[in-house]
């Protein structure tokens, strides 16, 4: 697509610093298309290799607790009720009633209209800016498809923020991205970021969902990751969980590499959230290894890495019970929502 | 021209598939006289864990099938066993070192027992269930339902008849099973699992582990997702400890037996739970 005249983009601080003051669709395109291509075979081989590390006994116990503390416990169904959100919150606060030493999860992730229910159910356990509580994350911007006008997306976001959401999980317009309209996607992210602003001037954390299953190539994933970071995303997230394939290890590794490059370039730390399709402790541990060996162990922190999952927690709890009791546990010993 | 022998390496039967042991181990199965017969997979605790997961996920389908349907499926297995008579006789002769007629008698007895239990599939409820007498305008009905996942340690000596005599009664009421076969002569159990894989039994309903019961049984006895354990072939093991481990999670436990367990309805009913419901008469 050629542009007759340069379209100026919303001034996003990071993009202005990296690309320069004359931020246009063309300069953004030149930057994103100038990114080196991804060695797909090498990437997949590296991811497969990272999946072979043996994590046992005390390391495994540490990993399981770490996984729990990194989980965004999620329910994103059309059938969600206030009661279901309350039980999800109860599980987030006390994941395993048989063991008080079990850590809490990082956040609960719900649809925007359920935020008020989640905040009410959390009560004093709601972080609301503190470091020790549980966050409420809301999906917004016409999740999961992202097919709505910008004004709908912005009011969707603003509603969730005013209801008390600490984190906003937005979806990018994949249609526009695949059509090559990087500027449109960029502007939307900048606008949503602005909609995350609270009345007191602080911002809700913005996680940008790339929906990598729809981006078709690793090159696109790398471009979308850069785009989301340049536009001001605090986190880049793989998927909505509604599209297969959802999170995969190679894609997460690639996004972590972008985050590492950004950190080397600017010293700024961006978070990564693989979501969807991670159901077993074994898989989750592979992700921990990938994070530790790509960007470093400091990223194994709820501020910088999250798992978007619902069934993963139960599997981790079963493994945890096996480690503490010495015998295998079963699904009768964890709550099923 | 002389041919090179092709020794077989058998695998486990878990969830309707034939995986190698997670541990990668195999052990040699030898004839009664000590000659090499085949390699069999030596199951580890993780194979037992996987088998329990497979059995649990197969439970709702198998327990939810009608008794008549389960009976038909089991009868079909008896037909397949008939078709493989020669193979079973051959395997029993070589691994147990018995005469042809003794092996033949064992195969006949095994098939007969299987058919006998298959017949009970749609009848045991009538025997074990009851319409309870009550002094009120309602019915009160007790009915047996399968207990869930049953772990079984098959008899060590009688490889086919012993195996069938413990698996069939647990299966017929709708339980799914994880069986540790005879360690010294597992071939009949492996061949039977090949029969099951090509029959109408859904994958995961029967899971067969070969290897050391002494190693695997404690994990099954303490496993919180196993509802009952049949220690029929555990006479040589430290089976009191197995009972104690099983008691922690309130499992039903059948103690070890000498020889082959006799066919009995009690064996079917042991692996069931009684559900009692009432229903009003007023609406009729």
Per the structure, how many domains does chain A have? 1
CB-based contact B245 A327, cutoff 8 Å: yes
CB-based contact A326 B56, cutoff 8 Å: no
CATH number at residue A315: 3.20.20.70
Q: Which residues contact B100 (CB under 8 A, 6 or more apart)?
A: B89, B93
User: Which of A280, A231, A291 is CA-nearest to residue A257?
Assistant: A291
Q: CA B14 to CA B208: how far, in whole Å?
A: 7
In a domain, A3, yes or no: no
Q: How many CA atoms does the CB half-sphere of B65 hold within 13 Å?
A: 24
Q: CA B9 to CA B26: how far, in whole Å?
A: 8
CB-based contact A327 B56, cutoff 8 Å: no
Residues A156 and A140: beta-carbon distance below 8 Å: yes
The domain ranges of chain B are: 26-280
Residue A2 pLDDT greater than 70, yes or no: no
Give residue A128's pLDDT band: very low, low, confident or very high (50, 70, 90). confident
In a domain, A7, yes or no: no
Residue pLDDT, tens place only, A235-289: 999 999 999 999 999 999 999 999 999 999 999 999 999 999 999 999 999 999 9
Say whether residue B22 is in contact with chain A using an 8 A CB cutoff: no
The confidence score (pLDDT) of residue B82 equals: 95
For A210, B53, B78, B94, B118, the CA distances from B148, given in Å and listed in that order, are 43, 12, 24, 36, 19
Q: What is the mean pLDDT of residues A96-109?
A: 95
CB-based contact A330 B223, cutoff 8 Å: yes
In a domain, A169, yes or no: yes
CA distance, residue B223 to nearest chain A CA (Å): 5
In a domain, A2, yes or no: no
Give residue A12's pLDDT band: very low, low, confident or very high (50, 70, 90). confident
Chain A residues touching B223 at Cβ < 8 A: 327-328, 330
Q: CA B103 to CA B110: how far, in whole Å?
A: 11
Residue pLDDT, tens place only, A215-247: 999 999 999 999 999 999 999 999 999 999 999
Residues A237 and A202: beta-carbon distance below 8 Å: no
Residue A6 pLDDT greater than 60, yes or no: no
For A329, B11, B119, B222, B251, the CA distances from B245, given in Å and listed in that order, are 13, 28, 34, 5, 9
The confidence score (pLDDT) of residue A220 equals: 97
Residue pLDDT, tens place only, A41-84: 999 999 999 999 999 999 999 999 999 999 999 999 999 999 99
Say whether residue B250 is in contact with chain A using an 8 A CB cutoff: no
* Catalytic residue chosen out of the listed positions A96, A117, A156, A169: A169
In CATH terms, the fold of domain B26-280 is Aldehyde Dehydrogenase; Chain A, domain 1 (3.40.605)
In a domain, A191, yes or no: yes
CB-based contact B56 A332, cutoff 8 Å: no
CB-based contact A333 B49, cutoff 8 Å: no
**Token pair in block for residue B12:** 């486990």
**Token pair in block for residue A327:** 């015998």
Residue pLDDT, tens place only, A133-144: 999 999 999 999
The confidence score (pLDDT) of residue A3 equals: 47
A273 is catalytic: yes
Pick A128 or B80 by higher pLDDT: B80
Complex ipTM value: 0.87
For A147, A310, B48, B152, the CA distances from B159, given in Å and listed in that order, are 64, 45, 20, 14
Residues in chain B, pLDDT under 70: 283-284
Q: CA A69 to CA A306: how far, in whole Å?
A: 9
> C-alpha angle A100/A104/A105, rounded to 5°?
150
In a domain, A4, yes or no: no
Q: CA B151 to CA B47: how far, in whole Å?
A: 13
**Token pair in block for residue B197:** 């894989």
Nearest residue in A to B149, CA atom: A330
CA distance, residue A57 to nearest chain B CA (Å): 15
**Token pair in block for residue A76:** 């994103």
Which residue's structure tokens are 């039980």? Answer: A87
Residue pLDDT, tens place only, B237-277: 999 999 999 999 999 999 999 989 899 999 999 999 999 99
For A67, A277, B27, B106, the CA distances from A294, given in Å and listed in that order, are 17, 21, 41, 62
Q: Which domain holds residue A159?
A: 13-333
A237 is catalytic: yes
Mean pLDDT, chain A, whole residue set: 94
Nearest residue in B to A333, CA atom: B224
Residue A109, φ and ψ in degrees, nearest 5: -120, 120
> C-alpha angle B200/B61/B242, rounded to 5°?
95
The confidence score (pLDDT) of residue A273 equals: 97
């Amino acid at each position: 697509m050629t542009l007759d005249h340069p379209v100026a983009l919303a001034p996003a601080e990071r993009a202005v610093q990296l690309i320069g003051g004359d931020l246009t669709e063309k300069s953004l395109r030149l930057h994103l298309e100038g990114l080196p291509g991804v060695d797909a075979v090498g990437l997949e081989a590296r991811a497969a290799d990272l999946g072979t590390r043996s994590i046992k006994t005390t390391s495994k116990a540490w990993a399981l607790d770490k996984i729990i503390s990194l989980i965004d416990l999620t329910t994103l169904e059309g059938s969600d009720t206030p009661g279901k959100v309350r039980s999800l919150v109860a599980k987030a606060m006390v994941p395993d009633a048989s063991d008080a030493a079990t850590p809490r999860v990082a956040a609960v992730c719900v649809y925007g209209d359920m935020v008020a229910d989640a905040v009410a159910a959390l009560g004093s356990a709601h972080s609301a800016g503190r470091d020790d509580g549980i966050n409420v994350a809301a999906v917004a911007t016409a999740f999961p498809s992202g097919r709505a006008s910008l004004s709908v997306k912005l009011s969707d976001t603003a509603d969730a923020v005013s209801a008390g959401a600490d984190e906003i999980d937005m979806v990018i317009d994949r249609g526009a991205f695949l059509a090559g309209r990087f500027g449109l996607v960029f502007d939307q992210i900048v606008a949503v970021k602005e909609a995350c602003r609270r009345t007191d001037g602080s911002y809700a954390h913005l996680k940008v969902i790339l929906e990598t299953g729809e981006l078709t190539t690793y090159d696109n994933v790398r471009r979308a990751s850069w785009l989301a970071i340049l536009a001001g995303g605090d986190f880049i997230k793989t998927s909505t969980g509604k599209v297969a394939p959802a999170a995969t290890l190679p894609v997460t590794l690639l996004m972590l590499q972008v985050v590492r490059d950004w950190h080397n370039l600017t010293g700024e730390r961006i978070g990564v959230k693989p979501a969807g399709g991670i159901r077993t402790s074994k898989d989750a541990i592979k992700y921990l290894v990938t994070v530790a060996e790509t960007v470093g162990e400091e990223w194994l922190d709820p501020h910088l890495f999250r798992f978007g999952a619902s069934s993963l927690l139960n599997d981790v709890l079963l493994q945890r019970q096996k480690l503490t009791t010495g015998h295998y546990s079963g699904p009768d010993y964890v709550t099923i929502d | 021209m002389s041919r090179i022998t092709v020794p077989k390496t058998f695998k486990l039967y878990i969830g309707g598939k034939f995986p190698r042991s997670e541990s990668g181990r195999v052990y040699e199965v030898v004839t009664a006289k000590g000659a090499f017969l085949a390699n069999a997979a030596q199951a580890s605790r993780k194979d037992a864990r996987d088998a329990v997961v497979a059995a649990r996920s197969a439970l709702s389908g198998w327990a939810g099938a009608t008794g008549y349907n389960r009976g038909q499926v089991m009868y079909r297995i008896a037909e397949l066993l008939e078709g493989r008579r020669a193979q079973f006789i051959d395997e029993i002769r070589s691994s147990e070192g018995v005469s042809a007629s003794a092996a033949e008698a064992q195969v006949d007895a095994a098939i007969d027992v299987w058919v006998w239990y298959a017949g009970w599939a749609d009848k045991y409820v009538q025997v074990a269930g009851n319409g309870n007498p009550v002094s009120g305008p309602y019915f009160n009905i007790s009915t047996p339902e399968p207990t869930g996942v049953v772990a079984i340690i098959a008899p060590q000596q009688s490889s086919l008849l012993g195996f069938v005599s413990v698996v069939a009664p647990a299966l017929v009421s709708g339980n799914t099973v994880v069986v540790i076969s005879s360690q010294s002569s597992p071939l009949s159990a492996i061949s039977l699992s090949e029969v099951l894989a090509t029959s109408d039994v859904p994958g995961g309903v029967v899971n067969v582990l070969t290897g050391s019961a002494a190693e695997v049984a404690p994990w099954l006895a303490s496993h919180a997702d196993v509802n009952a354990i049949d220690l029929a072939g555990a006479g040589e093991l430290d089976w009191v400890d197995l009972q104690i481990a099983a008691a922690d999670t309130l499992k039903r436990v059948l103690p070890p037996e000498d020889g082959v367990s006799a066919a009995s309805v009690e064996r079917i009913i042991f692996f069931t739970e009684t559900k009692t419901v009432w229903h009003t008469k007023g609406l009729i």
